[in-house]
Amino acid sequence: MILILQLLLALSLSLRADGYDSYQVVDCVFSSSDLSDLEYIDTFYFNKDPVIRFNSTVGEFVGFTEFGVKSAERWNKGPILQQERAQLDRYCKPNVKLDFTHVLEKTVKPKVRLTSEKQASEGRPALLMCSAYGFYPPIIDVYWLRDGKKVTSDVVSTEEMANGNWYYQVHSHLEYTPTFGENISCVVEHASSKEPIIIDWGGSFRDSDRDKIIIGASGFVLGIILSTAGFLYYKKKSPEFV
């Protein structure tokens, strides 16, 4: 499983007067764990529209309005440009490394539980629920196997739901018609575990069906034993044995 991380560190400075809103937003953005695509972005806005922006990948200021273009030309020739270019190493990298240490590298293995929500009856299918909870980060893959093959239909899953304490939960439902001897499993893949977490359903037949089969088989064997014993007793008492 490939885990894509994205972090946005923002610093906003705002000035409002007479219905006008002018503000500056500083962002540190990346989507790779090795920080190879880390960018420092400093944007000046006026009434929610960008006016001028510095991007560390571009390496200079770019204007979006007539005033912004003129300001960019002036700023790109002055000392402010060198100050902005230094912010990637001075501001972004130290803060991102702190976030990696305390947040992004933190992983908590999910607890997985497989339960029966509805038993099959009168031609209606059964329903299983696989729950993964108490995990971090939120990216997770939950799917079903039926006799070793991935199930692609009759599956309904929830989105990852936040518990409000950094941890998440997700639930997946499988609707199926039980078949004797088959094997159904719930599989969970998460960054906290090198191997997939596989929980097998202990037989596809509902408990009452298994009980009927066991009772029926036991009665059949007991009947054979009693019949054999009765036959031997009859033969022993018959005249030819006297």
Instruction: Give me the tens of pLDDT residue by residue for the chain, a chain 242 residues long.
Output: 333 333 444 455 556 656 678 888 888 888 776 778 899 999 999 988 999 999 999 999 999 999 999 999 999 999 999 999 999 999 988 888 877 766 666 789 999 999 998 888 877 899 999 999 999 888 899 999 999 999 989 999 988 999 878 899 999 999 998 888 889 999 999 989 989 999 999 754 444 444 544 454 455 445 556 566 555 555 555 555 44
What confidence score (pLDDT) does residue 188 get? 96
Contacts of 199 (CB under 8 A, 6+ apart): 112, 113, 114, 130, 185, 186, 188
Q: What is the pLDDT of residue 64?
A: 97
φ/ψ (deg, to 5) at 206? -65, 165
Alpha-carbon distances of 141 from 50, 148, 196, rounded to whole Å? 38, 17, 10
Identify the pLDDT of residue 242: 45
Answer yes or no: are the C-beta atoms of 92 and 83 closer than 8 Å: no
Query: What is the predicted pLDDT for the residue at 203?
Result: 56
Predicted local confidence at residue 96, as pLDDT: 83
For residue 157, report the phi and psi dihedrals to the nearest 5 degrees: -125, 150
pLDDT of residue 124: 86
Q: Go through the domains of the chain in sequence order and give each one's CATH number.
A: 7-104 (3.10.320.10), 111-207 (2.60.40.10)
Write phi, then psi, for 20 (nearest 5 degrees): -100, 150
